[in-house]
Amino acid sequence: MNKLRLLSEISLFEEMPDNKLKEIDMITQMTTVKKGTLIYTPDTPVEVLYFLKQGQVRLYRVNEEGKQFTIDVLVD
């Protein structure tokens, strides 16, 4: 599927000029992640933005005892 077209369908980018959208297309990547893969942990600072194209992602926090608490489950 065409990544540029997918980006243009995201409301965050709907008023962005085509040339800027093409720049974003050039510097971003689409990745398939297998079910159960840990993308990153709550205690790891990241400077990235993820868009869910298909599937679901569980957002959670971990308490001091190491117990996970689900905040939300995002579904495509």
Q: Counting every residue, how long is the chain?
A: 76
Give the mean model confidence (pLDDT) for residues 48-72. 89
pLDDT greater at residue 46 or residue 1: 46
Record the pTM.
0.64
- pLDDT at residue 1, as a whole number: 62
The residue type of 75 is V
